[in-house]
Chains A and B, each alone.
Chain A
Amino acid sequence: MKEKALALLTCIFIALSILGFAYAQWNDMITISSTLQFGTWSEAIRFVEPKECSDNEATKDVGQFNCYYTGEDPEPGYYRRLVIQMSNAYPSYAVRCSFTLKNIDLGITSKIVDVYIYDDSGELNWIWTTEHTEGFLWKDFNGNGGYDPGEEIMDITITELVDLTLDPEQTIVAEITVHIADNAEECHLYGFQVEIVYERV
């Protein structure tokens, strides 16, 4: 019985070898090619032209401002960052900048889920007075760890962006205004960041 089984296995082995050899002699190649396209979603919302900036000086030219896009990604014309520079600023000086956001993805809808404003140097702290649209940066002048009236440095107002959905190729014009408060210090350099967080829908 054992010998029969061994003979059967040997026959199968030889048959498969012959079959493989025959196939090798007669085969050709059929290629099934496919491309797995992973979404380029991480390049979804970008700053695009047009943008427009102005200040609140009607006749005088004391304070100066400069606004520009930077960080081109993934190609020229699409930017990751809007830079607002104010110089020779004084209390009550204000700069308004309108900018354009575009969902540059061709197939995925994106949604803005949060807006954060902060000073990454840690000198200034942020408080929203109207969630997502209005607030101010303040400095802890008296070192008590909390905000006290009279510690405001600059007020920032931004268009409501949270929960905004942008379909592929859709654009939206938004606006940010930076207003210097009375307590801003002379000869001082302040910085702030506005982070607009979005995700796929």
Chain B
Amino acid sequence: MTKNKTYAIFMILAISLSIVGFVYAHWSDSIHISGTVKMAHIKLTIISYKNLTSCCVQRYSKITSQLSPDGHTLTLTCTGLKPCWFVWIGLLTQNQGTLPAIVKPPEYSFDDPDGFKDYFETKEYYYGPYPEATGFGTLEVWGGAKVSTFGPLKPEGTTTFKTPSHTPPFVTQPGEKVVIWIWIHVHTSIPDTAQGKTVKLYITIVDDLAI
């Protein structure tokens, strides 16, 4: 009998609470603020590259280059290094992101178990930025570039382009392109033990938000 009473009280309470909840639901309401955020991205990419050197260097050294899948790093494999060995690396880069990017000097790293990197020197020249639609085949600083003692890419590391070069850091807008010429040279002080060896050189472009 007592059990039945308890059960009945419990049921009454449950039903009452359900009704209270139902009534409350009818007397409370809400309004909303909905937000979406689509994030931008920053992406400075190498879209084309060249490695140029003199006929003299080509006779004793083989230089191959390979671009990483993300377009950020160019790997150079150079054989038969000697004093005064040099190469001109041309990088055609584009801001393929959706934000303005700052062009900065590239980063260099070496596979150099013998400490070769101490005997390398580099110089960089920056041209642009150029609008996205620019045709580079006939552009003086890209299509017309060659290594010669008369220029525009001189063996001793200077250029004779009529187009003035930029000094980084500078800003490129989305879609714009920049040409970078890098002169890489081996000092005359390279020790005999290092000569004739093969070196892997990694050139990585650096992007940074320009806001």
A contact set with B: CB distance below 8 Å = 41-42, 44-47, 60, 62-63, 80-92, 99, 101, 113, 154, 176, 178, 180, 184-200
Q: Which residues of B contact A185 (CB under 8 A)?
A: 39
A81 touches B40 (CB 8 A): no
- Contacts A62-B99, A62-B211 given; does A86 touch B36 at CB 8 Å: yes
Stretch touching chain A among B21-29, B81-89, B110-118, B189-197: B21-29
Further pairs besides A92-B211, A194-B32: 18, Cβ < 8 Å = A41-B27, A42-B29, A44-B29, A47-B31, A63-B40, A82-B33, A83-B35, A85-B36, A88-B40, A88-B98, A89-B37, A184-B39, A186-B39, A197-B28, A198-B29, A199-B24, A199-B29, A200-B28
B35-85 residues with Cβ-Cβ distance < 8 A to A are: 35-42
Is B100 interfacial (CB-CB < 8 Å)?
A: yes
A198 touches B37 (CB 8 A): no
Is B17 interfacial (CB-CB < 8 Å)?
A: no
Least distance between B111 CB and chain A CB atoms (Å): 30
B39 touches A187 (CB 8 A): yes
Partner of A84, one of B33, B98, B209: B33
Q: Which residues of B contact A82 (CB under 8 A)?
A: 32-34
B87-112 residues with Cβ-Cβ distance < 8 A to A are: 98-100
Q: Which residues of B contact A187 (CB under 8 A)?
A: 39-41
Q: Which residues of A contact B30 (CB under 8 A)?
A: 195-198
B211 touches A90 (CB 8 A): yes
CA distance A99 to B164 in the complex (A): 52
A-B contact pairs, 20 of them (CB 8 A): A45-B29, A62-B40, A82-B32, A82-B33, A88-B38, A90-B39, A90-B209, A91-B209, A99-B33, A187-B39, A187-B40, A187-B41, A190-B37, A192-B37, A193-B33, A194-B32, A196-B32, A198-B28, A199-B24, A199-B29
User: Closest chain B residue to A38 by CB distance?
Assistant: B26
B41 touches A83 (CB 8 A): no
CA distance A188 to B37 in the complex (A): 8
